[in-house]
């Protein structure tokens, strides 16, 4: 039995899974992030106008894939179970995820995640698109991208821990379901209004400007915008730290897109784009430790180049610098 890639076990929360994220990252899709947000906003307005409650658990089809997974994950976390009635334990896991998802309406708090399920027998194209290799597979999504995953049957206790860790990771980072989703899902009016307002204010014009530059392929211009956001955030005592952190993360993505604009992303680029920074560090440090000559020098120079992309005080960078020094000397 596989053990969940439990986000709670990692200091930094869930990381993108090696297999899903590193192979599924598409540079073209990243450049279309701005367009995706616009589509998501339009769908959200349509849902708000309809006044219908969004299901806390549902089966995904090829027709509902974009709305129920990609768009929905820009609002709240989506936990997806890819299973089959023929596979032992899938029905039990589905029932537990469904119970937990629907229980959110009972505590009067905003809904923070939804459960979606794919039957790989009837919709194999979705399983193929996600490169599923084992049934059941559970994948958590946020902002249209993978957060973490696990394979194999897990007991109810582990499922609950997995859900809790995903919720903690996305808390405060997604706008929430449309305000009209229902009094049942979003608690009192103030809570619902807060979620909606935060989602609207998420469209910080500075970030929108950077996103437009990314879409146009002006990566250097986007980096300049993010640099300005980081600088201006220093005077914002209330939200400055969070805004700066978001800008630093986006800045790294812009630099990576600039580097890989020709479509020739190597293993290290893919790891970084997938959010697997520590694994990228480990890979290069191991190359320094086990190679010599030009190959060793290239690994060192690449590592220094990556360090320069991040804040010098980043604990992960400081740790990697220390390990690089040990490998070199």
Asked whether 317 and 311 are in contact (CB, 8 A), the reply is: yes
Clarify whether residues 100 and 230 are in a common domain. no
Decide which of 199, 226, 257 is a domain's last residue: 199
Paired strand residues for 145? 142
User: For residue 2, is it within any domain?
Assistant: no
pLDDT at 293: 92
Query: Cα dihedral sign for 157, 163, 169, 172?
Result: negative
Domain of 44, CATH number, reads 3.40.30.10
CA–CA gap between residue 84 and residue 117 (Å, rounded)? 10
Number of other residues whose CB lies within 10 A of the CB of residue 166 = 25
CA–CA gap between residue 210 and residue 207 (Å, rounded)? 5
CA–CA gap between residue 114 and residue 80 (Å, rounded)? 9
Side-chain half-sphere CA neighbours of 295 within 13 A: 7
Instruction: Choose among 125, 124, 121, 105: nearest CA to 113.
Output: 105
Beta strand 57-59 pairing with 145-151: unpaired
Within 138-218, residue ranges assigned H as helices are 156-170, 183-186, 189-201, 205-216
Asked whether 140 and 78 are in contact (CB, 8 A), the reply is: yes
Clarify whether residues 298 and 324 are in a common domain. yes
Q: What is the pLDDT along the chain (329 residues), one digit of tens a residue?
A: 444 444 433 333 333 333 333 333 344 444 444 454 455 445 545 554 555 688 999 999 888 887 888 778 878 899 999 999 999 999 999 999 999 999 998 877 789 999 999 999 999 988 888 888 899 999 998 877 778 888 999 999 999 999 998 888 888 777 788 765 554 444 333 333 333 334 333 457 888 888 888 878 888 998 999 899 988 888 887 777 778 888 887 888 788 888 777 666 788 887 887 678 889 999 999 999 999 999 999 999 999 989 888 877 778 888 899 999 988 87
pLDDT at 68: 83
pLDDT at 129: 81
pLDDT at 22: 35
pLDDT at 25: 36
**Starting at the edge strand that comes first in sequence, how are the strands of the sheet with 113-119 ordered?**
57-59, 113-119, 77-83, 137-142, 145-151
Clarify whether residues 158 and 235 are in a common domain. no
Residue carrying the six token digits 């029905």: 91
Asked whether 250 and 226 are in contact (CB, 8 A), the reply is: yes
Clarify whether residues 25 and 128 are in a common domain. yes
- Please give the tally of structural domains in the chain: 3
Residue 302 to residues 258, 288, 305, Cα–Cα distance (Å):
15, 11, 5
Clarify whether residues 23 and 168 are in a common domain. yes
User: For residue 1, is it within any domain?
Assistant: no
Structural domain range at position 95: 7-199
Clarify whether residues 71 and 169 are in a common domain. yes
Q: Which residues contact 23 (CB under 8 A, 6 or more apart)?
A: 131, 270
Clarify whether residues 178 and 298 are in a common domain. no
Clarify whether residues 83 and 106 are in a common domain. yes
For the chain, the residue count is 329
Clarify whether residues 163 and 296 are in a common domain. no
Within 202-313, residue ranges assigned H as helices are 205-216, 219-233, 240-259, 267-273, 277-290, 293-307
What the block records as the tokens of 166 is 């995903």
Clarify whether residues 222 and 263 are in a common domain. yes
Contacts 24+ apart (CB under 8 A), 30-35: 30/214, 30/253, 30/257, 30/273, 31/214, 31/215, 31/217, 31/257, 32/215, 33/144, 33/211, 33/214, 33/215, 34/208, 34/211, 34/212, 34/214, 34/215, 35/215
Decide which of 268, 286, 314 is a domain's last residue: 268
Clarify whether residues 54 and 107 are in a common domain. yes
- Gyration radius from the chain CA atoms: 21
Clarify whether residues 148 and 33 are in a common domain. yes
User: For residue 56, is it within any domain?
Assistant: yes
CA angle 68, 71, 73 (to 5 degrees): 85
pLDDT at 263: 67
């Amino acid at each position: 039995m596989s053990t969940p890639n439990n986000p709670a076990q990692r200091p930094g929360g869930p990381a993108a899974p090696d297999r899903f994220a590193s192979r599924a990252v598409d540079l073209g899709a990243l450049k279309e992030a701005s367009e995706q947000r616009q589509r998501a906003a339009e769908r959200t307005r349509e849902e708000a106008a309809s006044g219908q409650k969004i299901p806390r658990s549902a089966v995904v089809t090829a027709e509902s894939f974009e709305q129920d997974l990609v768009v929905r994950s820009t609002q709240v976390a989506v936990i997806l179970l890819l299973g089959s009635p023929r596979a032992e334990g899938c029905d039990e896991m589905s029932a537990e995820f469904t119970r937990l998802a629907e229980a959110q309406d009972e505590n009067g708090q905003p809904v923070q995640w939804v459960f979606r399920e794919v039957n790989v027998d009837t919709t194999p194209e979705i399983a193929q698109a996600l490169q599923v290799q084992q049934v059941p597979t559970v994948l958590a999504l946020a902002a249209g991208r993978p957060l973490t995953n696990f394979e194999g049957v897990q007991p109810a206790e582990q499922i609950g821990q997995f859900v809790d860790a995903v919720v903690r990771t996305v808390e405060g980072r997604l706008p929430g379901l449309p305000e009209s989703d229902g009094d049942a899902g979003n608690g009192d009016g103030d809570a619902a209004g807060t979620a909606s307002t935060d989602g609207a204010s998420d469209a910080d014009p500075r970030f929108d400007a950077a996103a437009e530059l990314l879409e146009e392929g002006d990566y250097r211009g986007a980096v300049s915008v993010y640099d300005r956001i980081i600088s201006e955030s220093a005077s914002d005592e209330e939200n400055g730290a969070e805004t700066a952190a978001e800008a630093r993360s986006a800045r790294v993505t812009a630099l990576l897109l600039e580097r890989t604009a020709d479509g020739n992303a190597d293993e290290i680029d893919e790891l970084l784009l997938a959010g697997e920074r520590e694994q990228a560090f480990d890979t290069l440090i191991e190359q320094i430790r086990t190679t010599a000559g030009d190959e060793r020098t290239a690994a060192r120079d690449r590592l220094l180049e990556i360090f320069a992309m991040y804040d010098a005080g980043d604990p992960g960078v400081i740790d990697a610098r220390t390990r690089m020094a040990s490998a070199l000397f």
